[in-house]
Amino acid sequence: MNSASQRDSMRGGGREAGGLDPVLVERRDAITVLTVNRPEARNAIDLATAQAIEAAVDEFGADDAARVLVLTGAGGTFSAGMDLVAASKGEMPMSKRIIDESPDWSVEEGFAKQGEIALPALFSKDAAEGALAFAQKRDPQWQGR
């Protein structure tokens, strides 16, 4: 893909107060590159960034031609993790499942249960298959496990 078409395939994920897109999405054939674009905050994840990542991942998942998703950070830093400044103001990014299941949970319970819900997906056989398929440069064989 030439640089002009690469530029044409790049878009932002919604503007922050400072005018920057918190996530840049670039499509290169079957490869999608998501760049967390908050270098001034060491790419810490606030609510707007989490929502932009979620929307981009949902779009990637719905595209049958998309094969590889790369998550990176702008400005030489991948990510400092959750934006603690935003969190101290009550702004906390959480997964959809946590939000759906959490109407009666305290903040502490929400953090504890988020790990409980996320860890099985991170250590699933499909996650391992995806990493192995990427390393072997082949299509993954998903089993839904």
94-145: CATH homologous superfamily? Lyase 2-enoyl-coa Hydratase, Chain  A, domain 2 (1.10.12.10)
Where in the chain do CATH 1.10.12.10 domains reside?
94-145
Residues 92 and 90: their CA atoms lie apart, in Å, by 6
Residues 144 and 79: their CA atoms lie apart, in Å, by 29
Residues 98 and 96: their CA atoms lie apart, in Å, by 5
Out of 3.90.226.10, 3.40.50.1580, 1.10.260.30, 3.90.280.10, select the CATH number for domain 1-93. 3.90.226.10
End-to-end CA distance of the chain: 35
pTM of the full structure: 0.59
Which three-class secondary structure state does DSSP give residue 45? strand
Residues 121 and 95: their CA atoms lie apart, in Å, by 13
Per-residue pLDDT tens digits of the chain, which is 145 residues long: 333 333 335 566 555 555 679 999 999 999 999 999 999 999 999 989 989 998 999 999 999 999 999 999 999 999 998 888 887 777 766 655 666 666 777 878 877 777 777 777 667 787 788 778 878 888 888 787 6
